[in-house]
Structure 1
Amino acid sequence: MSESTIHVMRESPLRRVHPAGDESPPAALSSRPPMTAHMKSLPGDARAVLPDPNGWFAVCFSHELQRGAVLVKPLMGRDIVLYRTQSGLARVVEPYCPHMGAHLGHGGRVEGDNLVCPFHHMQFGPEGGCVHTGRAGAVPRMALTARHMRERNGVIFTWVHQEGLAPSWEPPTHDLTGWSRPAWVHQEHGGYFQNSGENSVDLVHFDTIHNFRQPQMSADVVDNLLVVRFSARLLGRPFFLHLTNYDAGNLYGHFTLPSLGLELCVLGYATPDAHLRWSLRMVTAMRVERFARWPAAIQSPLYALMRLVAGVWADRTAGQDTSVWEHRGHPGSFRLMAEERPAALYQRWVQQFYSYDFPGVKPSATDRPAQEDAR
């Protein structure tokens, strides 16, 4: 098991404590002159078009794709078509009929287990091959272009690899037994797809944006997963957040508020829809220790009320982030501070999910984890 660890505690912006005998002044009071603005005469930089990542991407909730339904979803600037057969099989295919190019998501329909083209009524079976033409003569040898797909935890995923490689890992499955009935959230955002992942390792913003007190964070790479542990105080009460990032768009979060016996799990899935457009899908569930002693007839309305309150709080908290996300520059323009080492670790870790050069953060030597931290 390879493991690198970074531990950071957010310092108060008002006071720094220096070790005994260290008379060096705080950076803000140093005699070193501040940098001056870089003057520019050329037109301003447009936000860069970044390469798309590899991995499993959530494109739909299972309950959105009912039996017999045909849906069109965006993925990296292109359409994909999802459909579910009458027997319940979910499929993800490229949108164009191999016969004469009709878009299967606009007028296509499901008959039994077959997808029917809206143009010439060719029928394609669940394995993709043409099985019926509705006319006399032999069935032509043609097939849809199918995409790798999985259905996990009420979410439909499709695999993307910029070099056309087959899946090399599986999307995780999470056991939600004993948790409340899940809530389903789908948001569409502007800006860069990596915003949600970077947010999970941005220690400083929990203080400056969300007003969480005494935030602390550690970041580890364990078995190629990026594991983040975060703690802070909310309304005077300590809480803890454990995040596992599986790839560039797939994370699991476990939130605990011990004083209330409250736990919250979040399955978060970010999907690049197009340049500077992305979707965030979340599956959330909760449990309260004391509720376990009560019958389901009492638990259900209590959890419903808690979901409502938690949803209002989450919308408010997320709204503080999204107003920034919409207009951020691309990652290659970042210059990180020393206390933002978890963010630097994330930038190095996430580049494995890109086939092509990604203009990620190149931290200075002082921003990189110390050698002893990386053991």
Structure 2
Amino acid sequence: MPDKRMMIVRETGEDGRAGREVRLTDLEFEPLGYEHLVNCKLDQPMIIPLAGRGTIVGGDVSDVEIGHTGRFRTELQSRLASKSIGLVKGGWLPSTLAIQDNSVVLPDRCVVAELDRRLKDGMTKHTGRSDFIDLFADHAIRINPGLFALEGGERQHPTASSARHSLDEAVRKLRSALPKAILVADDANGLKGVLGLIEDTRSGMDRKQDFLIRLNPRLQSPVALHRVQSVGNEVVSTAKACGLQVRSLVVLAALSSVVVANGKSPAKGLLKSKARYGREEAYNALADLRSLELLMHIFAIWPDQRVMLCTADKDLALFWSGIRASNFVRHGGHISFDIDPGALFPGVTQEQWMTWLTD
């Protein structure tokens, strides 16, 4: 993003009086967590608690302070909606705030469709409420459209032909909506990478589809409290029978669906369990989880690359924020990461959790 963003922070004293004004660039916002997202109404204006740092470039400051790092903690009383959410290391931010200088944006299919609906040649073409995503048009942001092609639009593994068609569609819509955007991996090499990911994840996706289809009868309805342990045990045994690790995202999502009372876990919405549930329905759910797996692989393989996955799926954003994944490390062809998913497993004791992990 060659054109850097600037933020003006107006300090407030302990007595509530307005203090000095400080101008900052090279902004880095601290990600928000699960608790900030769960009650948000994303289609309405928001009050956003913001903390972070930036380089002081002006304002009511001394010459000595110019060029130094300044930290801030404030509330942004925004008039914008934030139906598209930026998923980053450590949590989430409204889409435009999640973009850092030189970062790469991975939009999912819904976000590409939303950009196409809202913007033409960088100008808004709607009369509804403005959204943070409209501000994408103001910057030369770097966008990788590969996720659009990887997801596919037919609820099954994309073919080479359908992936090419999807990539062309994404490029066309993004260039129409955001003429300033810099599209990366949008050519034949980008398609080659997408096709490689499809093949690399095919067998794993097939096993996960089997897992979800077998468990679907157990996940459709909320689980009574006295049955949580036994159904959780069944989730774990089914995962192992399908060759899946308990720490894999789809198994964590299934366990959270069982644990959270009244079926209110975001994981339940993510897995999309229903009476008629076959391979297409399972693939649709797994495509969302695969986008998170891809994000974590990027964090592990290129730890210094700033990446934001942009999604309009609140359940996916809540699941990502809820697992609190961190410490992404590459080990040959695999990665490891830590999780702290307490928000997705309320009331689960450490003993119960360890039983599932080590059973």
TM value normalised by structure 2: 0.23
Tell which structure's C-alpha radius of gyration is larger. 1
TM value normalised by structure 1: 0.23
Larger proportion of helix: 2
